[in-house]
Amino acid sequence: MALMTGDEYVESIRRLKMKIYMFGETVDNPVDNPILRPSLNSVKATYDLAQLPEHADLMTAKSHLTGKKINRFCHIHHSTDDLVKKVKMQRLCGQRTASCFQRCVGLDSFNSVFSTTYECDRKHGTKYHENFLEFLKEAQEKDWTVDGAMTDPKGDRGLSPGRQADPDLYLRVVERRKDGIVVRGAKAHQTGICNSHQVLVMPTIAMGPEDRDYAVSFAVPLDAENLFMVIGRQSCDTRKLEGSDLDVGNREFGGVEALVIFDNVFVPNERIFLNGETDFSGMLVERFAGYHRQSYGGCKVGVGDVLIGAAALAAEYNGAHKASHIKDKLIEMTHLNETLYSSGIACSCEGSETASGNYLIDLLLANVCKQNVTRFPYEITRLAEDIAGGLMVTAPSEKDLRHPRIGPYLDKYLRGVASTPTEDRLKIMRLIENLTLGAAAVGYRTESMHGAGSPQAQRIVIARLGNMERKKALAKNIARIK
């Protein structure tokens, strides 16, 4: 198969018998659920775009394992050009969906596990890299969407995994058998996992020898026995049940988060990629974090493009687009957005080859990229809300707009410039609301803060890789201090 169409992808998810809970009830058919379907559509877009000849260079690649044409979301980076195209692909997908399209975390986990298993095998004589290559071949051939799962609930942040009051607050191996392992625990904040075929689990922190059972990486299908998920609430999520295109802001696309619980899930030996080698847990975490922090220089920029465009339209519909302060705010939004993009491109261009042959981004610049992402989208959002005005949060519902008695009054008094229909003005207001306050804000504003690690996590890496001693030596040389 190698490349699925969007429709084929939807049907492949429909065939999975996942165990999903939402609002205290089981979801028997997530594919057609009105709350979950927009998030599925966002993933579907990555398959649809890969079918278009004009986007083939960004959306597809040649597998180094089989030589076949594959979706770039299943690809292993083998050059800085691959790293750059990844960021450009993510910006394109963000522009087309104005949402999180959910496959980045799988791509980033592929490349992290690829290089880490190679180096672990060289040191310990394990066969994890061989296991992973077989898994990767199948993922490429079947064009899987794979959810990368790293974040544990963590419990008391001041305690290591093995010192928690409840040992399951970090996912761990509870039984080792001849044919595999049994794991128990949970992974939190899993974006798009109910739209995925497989989950690729990784440890969440660097670990010492005493936490051997927690240093585990593996893959299982999403309908594995004893695996289930609970969908997280989002602002304005039940608007999708009302049947109003206008009120949801973004009718077709969206994102979804979940807590995923592994209640004694069996993992066969051939799907294990790390099992107790604590000395490689830190490498896997750092590399995944670096790749994923690079990703935000693409995906968030694409969504930012849509938000900036919406703000510009709001200014036009309000009749304020010629005001100098409005022009200046749009310039500032563009400046901030392109700065994020330049960081994503820079860490890609400065990437280097790992021992396994794949390419790793420049970790320092990737962390600088994500540190900017924890700030700039918040300012872009603030400026968009400023330009939009109060109508963004006081607009009436679509039912009121269609009401035979009050609808004409709303059309009369909520119109901006005379040439723009009131309905179009309200549509843009709802889109801005969706991106800044509503369901999409989870994947844009809030995720910009906490996705791929908190701001402090990036600052720790920046401090470690910033090479302050070399900078001091440069200053001493210029100042002639011996």
Q: How far, in Å, CA of 94 to CA of 104, rounded?
A: 11
Q: Which of 93, 299, 347, 369 is catalytic?
A: 299
Question: 160 by DSSP, 3-state: which?
Answer: coil
Catalytic residue at 100? yes
Average pLDDT over residues 181-206: 97
Q: Which of 257, 277, 385, 433 is catalytic?
A: 257
Share of the chain above pLDDT 70, in %: 100
Q: Is residue 1 part of a domain?
A: no
Q: What is the per-residue pLDDT for 78?
A: 98
- Identify the domain boundary among 257, 279, 301: 279
Average pLDDT over residues 169-193: 98
Q: Give the tens place of pLDDT for each residue, 311-342.
A: 999 999 999 999 999 999 999 999 999 999 99
**Beta partners for residue 71, in sequence order:** 60
* Six token digits for residue 2: 């190698």
Rg value, the chain, Cα: 23
Q: Which of 46, 126, 151, 191 is catalytic?
A: 191
**Same structural domain, 44 and 160:** yes
CATH number at residue 191: 2.40.110.10
Average pLDDT over residues 92-104: 97
Residues 198, 220: contact at Cβ < 8 Å? yes
C-alpha atoms less than 13 angstroms from C-alpha of 77 in its C-beta half-sphere:
28
Q: How far, in Å, CA of 5 to CA of 248, rounded?
A: 27
Q: Which of 100, 120, 194, 347 is catalytic?
A: 100
**Same structural domain, 384 and 337:** yes
Catalytic residue at 296? yes
**Same structural domain, 469 and 321:** yes
**Same structural domain, 273 and 305:** no
* Six token digits for residue 455: 């701001």
Q: Which of 128, 170, 214, 296 is catalytic?
A: 296
What are the Cα distances from residue 93, in Å, to 59, 98, 304, 334, 451?
9, 8, 12, 18, 18
Q: What is the per-residue pLDDT for 439?
A: 83
**Same structural domain, 213 and 330:** no
Q: Is residue 245 part of a domain?
A: yes
**Same structural domain, 375 and 460:** yes
Q: Provide the pairing of β-strand 146-149 with 198-201.
A: parallel
Number of domains the chain is built from: 2
Q: Give the tens place of pLDDT for each residue, 404-438.
A: 999 999 999 999 999 999 999 999 999 999 999 98
Q: What is the per-residue pLDDT for 2?
A: 82
**Same structural domain, 271 and 375:** no
The model's pTM is 0.97
Residue 243 has pLDDT above 80, yes or no: yes
List, in order, residues 6 or more apart from 433 with CB less than 8 Å away: 236, 249, 392, 393
Catalytic residue at 191? yes
Residue 1 has pLDDT above 80, yes or no: no
Q: Which of 286, 385, 398, 447 is catalytic?
A: 447
**Same structural domain, 166 and 65:** yes
CATH number at residue 399: 1.20.140.10
Domain of residue 297 covers: 293-479
Average pLDDT over residues 334-359: 98
Q: How far, in Å, CA of 385 to CA of 4, rounded?
A: 39
List, in order, residues 6 or more apart from 253 with CB less than 8 Å away: 38, 39, 41, 42, 45, 97, 98, 99, 101
Q: Is residue 288 part of a domain?
A: no
**Same structural domain, 263 and 300:** no
- Identify the domain boundary among 279, 306, 332: 279
**Same structural domain, 366 and 426:** yes
The mean pLDDT of the chain is 97
Catalytic residue at 316? no
Question: Of 261, 257, 107, which Cα lies nearest the Cα of 192?
Answer: 257
Q: What is the per-residue pLDDT for 262?
A: 98
Residue 110 has pLDDT above 80, yes or no: yes
**Same structural domain, 365 and 406:** yes
Confidence band of 42 (pLDDT split at 50, 70, 90): very high
Residues 35, 241: contact at Cβ < 8 Å? yes
**Same structural domain, 261 and 368:** no
What are the Cα distances from residue 51, in Å, to 54, 141, 146?
9, 16, 19
Confidence band of 440 (pLDDT split at 50, 70, 90): confident
Catalytic residue at 120? no
Q: What is the per-residue pLDDT for 51?
A: 98
Average pLDDT over residues 33-37: 97
Catalytic residue at 74? no
Q: What is the per-residue pLDDT for 441?
A: 77
